[in-house]
Amino acid sequence: MSLALFDLDNTLLAGDSDYSWGQFLIELGVVDRDEYEQANQRFYDDYQVGRLDIHEFAAFAFRPLGENALVDLERWREQFLRERIAPIMLPAGREKIEAHRQAGDDIVIITATNRFITEPIAAAFGVSQLLATEPEFRDGAFTGRIAGIPCFQQGKVERLMQWLAETGGTLDQSWFYSDSHNDIPLLERVAHPVAVDPDDALRVVAEERGWDVVSFRGAP
């Protein structure tokens, strides 16, 4: 059985769920607008240029998870999915997932964004297998810390290799769809790397190496 891996933000989604969640919390008044908005933008900019410190970002992004009751977080997340995520779920991404499903491939969404945000998004795409950055959860509440290896850059490779060892899978017939140069370490490992609406840095690498370059947004 072949393995089809999909990045989430700016690949299956026409936007970044992690950044959007932060902005959503600002608008709800859950976090301080001036402080949080400035930091949220700085971390997003760092991600785009490839210098994000994932542990520093997690300490920032997971703080609202640790400071609020789970029942409130889940209620906000439901509203967030309905208002912010549903409108940016790309139909072409759904179609590609379905094409792999019809081919009998094993489908996994693999993302640096944390599981609390992304698990229901993956479910909305009809994908049950998710590898994401794990926020630590103890005694019925989030601690604000990362559990295990962050699913980011080389960490995506490490998390995937752990999962393959547990499931008995291989990368012999594997696909990975991503928009970001941060995912080059994993794109280099699969049999069929696909750059989806790639950022400038990934586009250069994809063209140099002869990787497929496609669009889920109807772009040339």
Helix (H) or strand (E) holding 123: helix 115-124
Domains and CATH numbers, the chain: 3-214 (3.40.50.1000)
Give the strand order in the sheet containing 192-196: 141-147, 130-138, 106-114, 3-6, 174-178, 192-196, 212-214
Looking at residue 9, its amino acid is: D
With b meaning 16 or more CB within 10 Å and e meaning fewer, what string describes 158-187? bbbeeeeeeeebebeebbbbbbbbbbbebb
Tokens encoding 25: 């919390």
Q: At what angle do helices 17-28 and 33-49 cross, to 10 degrees?
A: 170
Tokens encoding 203: 């586009």
Q: Which residues are catalytic?
A: 7, 9
Within the chain, strands assigned E span 3-6, 106-114, 130-138, 141-147, 174-178, 192-196, 212-214
| pLDDT at residue 59, as a whole number | 83
Looking at residue 69, its amino acid is: A
| pLDDT at residue 18, as a whole number | 93
Tokens encoding 179: 């928009």
Tokens encoding 188: 């280099």
Q: Which residues of the chain, if any, have pLDDT below 70?
A: 1, 219-220
- Entry pTM: 0.94
| pLDDT at residue 220, as a whole number | 54
CA distance 64 to 69: 9
Helix (H) or strand (E) holding 91: helix 91-102
| pLDDT at residue 72, as a whole number | 96
Looking at residue 171, its amino acid is: L
| pLDDT at residue 32, as a whole number | 87
Place of tokens 């140099």: 208
